[in-house]
Amino acid sequence: MTVARKLEFEQHKLAKRLRRQVGQAIADFGMIEAGDKVMVCLSGGKDSHVMLDVLLQLRAKAPVPFELVAVNLDQKQPGFPEHVLPQYLQSRGVRFTIIEQDTYSVVKRVIPEGKTMCSLCSRLRRGALYTHAAEHGFTKIALGHHRDDIAATFLMNLFHHAKLASMPPKLLSDDGRHVVIRPLAYCRESDIATYAGAREFPIIPCTLCGSQENLQRKQVGKLLQQWERESPGRIDQIVRALGDVRPSQLADRTLFDFHALGRRSDAPSPDVHAWLAGEPHGDDGANDAASIASQPLRILDATLV
């Protein structure tokens, strides 16, 4: 087999794997239903490009009809090549909308120099996209987060926010108006990068937050990459664990009733004050405690033979 033939074979295999993983995620979490109008959020990065490409392929053979519309938010960042995405989408015959909103100036004005911009930028971007989705009747909002993003978010919440949480493959927005889906939830970032390179998508880097090297997400990403090098499959294990939660093996009292576990029917409810105050229950307990405290300490000198 020639080098070119082998490369073509590997690219075909990769494309097939990505389609299978996206299709599996859609089926597992009920991401897309018949008649859905899906807003594919296209930032111009590799992840959103691959998401759109794979969804277009799946739609051609999907068991249910649904619409796909690519939506890009032009945040008015200096040097943003505003012609790139329209030209690309037109060449592929994809329906699209470009939203223009100067969130860049807001972020630069509000966030002090040297501070992380991602949080505010993300909120402003999400608000603009949610508003557009509501105004144009979209039933689903598709984001390009992948398997590695899900693992990284889990570790960030664990390390920095003391909670077990991540990016769910499907969620309802806080206001209850939008269903957000992540079709790439089962896809490896390395596969996405390889596929995007092979397809030669017109990638637009984020010059706003992409230049900030000390972000928590980048640090966690480097940690995951190191783990993956030392123990291949570690990221897969983390993501698989998120789908196998066992409340009785954790310590969240809102998810599991530890009080009821092995409790006698006649036992009183625990009294936190009594346990912390050090007040013995009843006369017998007091007498026993006093008796123990009054006994002299005896040290026996044993002789070994």
CATH of the domain at 23: 3.40.50.620
Q: Angle at Cα 224 formed by Cα 221 and Cα 229, nearest 5°?
A: 125
Find out whether 209 is annotated in a ligand binding site: yes
**Does residue 226 belong to any structural domain of this protein?**
yes
Alpha-carbon distances of 102 from 43, 67, 80, 95, 99, rounded to whole Å: 15, 28, 12, 23, 10
Q: What is the pLDDT of residue 292?
A: 56
- Residue 130 belongs to what domain range? 3-249
**Does residue 245 belong to any structural domain of this protein?**
yes
Find out whether 121 is annotated in a ligand binding site: yes
Helices (H), ranges, 45-97: 46-61, 84-92
Using DSSP, state whether 110 is helix, strand or coil: helix
Tallying the residues shown for the chain, one arrives at 305
Q: What is the pLDDT of residue 125?
A: 87
42 in Cβ contact with 72 (< 8 Å)? yes
Q: What is the pLDDT of residue 294?
A: 58
**Does residue 53 belong to any structural domain of this protein?**
yes
Q: What is the pLDDT of residue 105?
A: 83
**Does residue 56 belong to any structural domain of this protein?**
yes
**Does residue 281 belong to any structural domain of this protein?**
no
* Number of structural domains the chain divides into: 1
70 in Cβ contact with 94 (< 8 Å)? yes
162 in Cβ contact with 174 (< 8 Å)? no
Q: Distance (Å, rounded) from C-alpha 155 to C-alpha 217?
A: 9
Q: What is the pLDDT of residue 303?
A: 47
Residue in this structure with the two tokens 């105004």, named with its chain if needed: 135
153 in Cβ contact with 122 (< 8 Å)? no
**Does residue 131 belong to any structural domain of this protein?**
yes
Q: What is the pLDDT of residue 286?
A: 52
**Does residue 276 belong to any structural domain of this protein?**
no
- Nearest alpha carbon to residue 104 among 129, 79, 132, 141: 79
Q: What is the pLDDT of residue 226?
A: 94
**Does residue 179 belong to any structural domain of this protein?**
yes
147 in Cβ contact with 239 (< 8 Å)? yes
Pairing verdict, β 170-172 and 140-142: unpaired
Helices (H) and strands (E) in the chain, counts: 11, 6
pLDDT (tens digit, 0 to 9) for every residue of the chain, 305 residues total?
788 888 888 899 999 999 999 999 999 999 999 999 999 999 999 999 999 999 999 999 999 999 999 999 998 888 888 899 999 999 999 999 999 988 888 888 887 776 777 777 778 888 999 999 999 999 999 999 999 999 999 999 999 999 999 999 999 999 899 999 999 999 999 999 999 999 999 999 876 555 555 577 888 999 999 999 999 999 999 999 999 999 999 999 999 999 888 888 878 888 888 888 876 766 555 555 555 555 665 555 544 44
Q: What tokens were used for 228?
A: 């993956």
Find out whether 206 is annotated in a ligand binding site: no
